[in-house]
Amino acid sequence: MISLLSISDLHVKTGDTPVLRGVSSSVHAGETLALMGPNGSGKSTLAATLMGHPGYEVTHGSATFVGQDLLALKPEERARAGLFLSFQYPQEIAGVTLGNFLRLAYNATHPNTLSVSAFLDYLKKKMDLLKISHDFIMRSVNEGFSGGEKKRVEMLQLAVLEPRLAILDEVDSGLDVDALRIVTDAIKILKTEHAELALIVITHYPHVLHTLQPDRVAVLMKGAIVREGGSEITKEIEERGYQ
């Protein structure tokens, strides 16, 4: 099976500080990879690097996505190729309605753009799929949203953009039990709708994986993947922590 994303011996630093020290992994179409590890292990750095954040410098290694040299692409080119990142702490954008924001994002990442009316119909179908009120269309992006609402809107962005690979950076961050259930249910719905959608779910808490049931689990510590396997890794982390 050909990898959708392939990472080989990736070394990354921010400023003069090395963060990633030889990360190698891969993700196939339709696969869910859980990336676990304690705070400061490099999980979010890997996500930001794959998306092309200018604050992180690749000093060695490679990454390919759908057969392209990912590291040679600009961030917007990576998005157009089908790479998506949901943020740990989604930002508020005052004065920009969610509907306009999503329409501009869709038209910027898809070859066939949609008119305002056509996109509105498309957006409402996605909102109905995820059981999100149409009232959100005219609200400013994330302004006054609860933590759970912000994460649900990110799942809506994922549904609208239909990427090939979505990186979900600590999707459980700041959520109570009920909000987390709503978000994980949305992820499962999207996986059902798009069987080829691949996910990298970044977390340092095993409980979110009980619902999402990833195909593989990788443990990142001190900038390197130290273990990779199945759900048995999650159970061991729950029992003994990151040892």
**Residue range 38-43: average pLDDT?**
92
pLDDT value at residue 88:
76
pLDDT value at residue 106:
96
Grade residue 114 by pLDDT with cuts at 50, 70 and 90.
very high
pLDDT over 70 (residue 39): yes
* Strand bridging mode 32-36 / 216-221: parallel
pLDDT value at residue 72:
97
State pLDDT tens for residues 52-99: 999 999 999 999 999 999 999 999 999 999 999 998 788 899 999 999
pLDDT value at residue 181:
85
The DSSP string of the chain is ---SEEEEEEEEEETTEEEEEEEEEEE-TT-EEEEE--TTSSHHHHHHHHHT-TT-EEEEEEEEETTEEGGGS-HHHHHHHTEEEE-SSPPPEEEEEHHHHHHHHHHHH-SS---HHHHHHHHHHHHHHTT--GGGGGSEETTT--HHHHHHHHHHHHHHH--SEEEEETTTTT--HHHHHHHHHHHHHHHHH-TT-EEEEEES-THHHHHH--SEEEEEETTEEEEEESTHHHHHHHHH---
Q: At what angle do helices 98-109 and 116-129 cross, to 10 degrees?
A: 100
pLDDT over 80 (residue 175): no
Grade residue 228 by pLDDT with cuts at 50, 70 and 90.
very high
Rounded Cα–Cα distance for residues 94 and 198 (Å): 31
The residue that leads in pLDDT, 193 or 242, is: 193
Grade residue 126 by pLDDT with cuts at 50, 70 and 90.
very high
CATH class of the domain comprising 5-240: alpha beta
pLDDT value at residue 1:
59
Average per-residue pLDDT for the chain: 92
Rounded Cα–Cα distance for residues 243 and 66 (Å): 35
pLDDT value at residue 179:
80
**Residue range 34-59: average pLDDT?**
95
pLDDT over 70 (residue 19): yes
pLDDT over 90 (residue 197): yes
pLDDT value at residue 26:
95
**Residue range 115-140: average pLDDT?**
96
